[in-house]
Amino acid sequence: MTTDIAPIRILIAKPGLDGHDRGAKYVAHILRDAGFEVIYTGIRRSPEQIVRAAIQEDVRAIGLSILSGAHLNIMQRLFDLLRAEHAQDIAVFIGGTIPPDDIEALQRLGVIAVFPPGTSADDIIRTVREHLPPAA
């Protein structure tokens, strides 16, 4: 008798006006190849659209790629919306050009991991797996 465990669902999104999505697509691809079910929303999404999609898709995590420098404002809004929707059980990670001095502030908001440019695929996969163990 085998037990089929559904793959962990992760939403990858590109908030704000930044249209450079190479990193977001890269992360979506490596996570998909690692066995996660990935939903990619595309570019220029608002925090409201991202949270709505995450809830509709019943994801366990949201991964954001932000290169615009607006990461603190966007993340604050995203976490406010998750709380308002009683969806704070959805984990959030972020990648992009995040100054090291902002990492602690992002973690205080609730970000589980920050992936700066150059983070290896293995590190991303390992970190996401550590924070999102399969459901029992």
**Is residue 76 one of the residues assigned to a domain?**
yes
What percentage of the chain carries pLDDT values higher than 90?
82
**Closest to 119 (Cα-Cα) out of 74, 44, 78, 63:** 63
Better-predicted residue by pLDDT, 2 or 65: 65
Report how far residue 121's alpha carbon sits from residue 126's, in angstroms, rounded to the nearest whole number.
8
For residue 1, the model assigns a pLDDT of 46
pLDDT in tens, 85-110: 999 999 999 999 999 999 999 999 99
Kindly report the pTM of this predicted structure.
0.92
**Is residue 72 one of the residues assigned to a domain?**
yes
For residue 17, the model assigns a pLDDT of 81
**Is residue 4 one of the residues assigned to a domain?**
no
Count up the domains in the chain and report the number.
Answer: 1
**Is residue 22 one of the residues assigned to a domain?**
yes
Amino acid identity, position 64: L
**Is residue 83 one of the residues assigned to a domain?**
yes
Q: Which residue has the tokens 């090291």?
A: 100
Residue 117 contacts by C-beta under 8 Å, 6 or more apart in sequence? 23, 96, 97
**Is residue 136 one of the residues assigned to a domain?**
no
Report how far residue 28's alpha carbon sits from residue 82's, in angstroms, rounded to the nearest whole number.
22
Better-predicted residue by pLDDT, 87 or 133: 87
For residue 68, the model assigns a pLDDT of 85
**Is residue 3 one of the residues assigned to a domain?**
no
**Is residue 37 one of the residues assigned to a domain?**
yes
Report how far residue 115's alpha carbon sits from residue 92's, in angstroms, rounded to the nearest whole number.
12
Q: What is the CATH number of the domain that holds 96?
A: 3.40.50.280
Residue 43, domain extent: 9-130
pLDDT in tens, 26-54: 999 999 999 999 999 989 999 999 999 99
Query: What's the rounded mean pLDDT across residues 69-75?
Result: 93
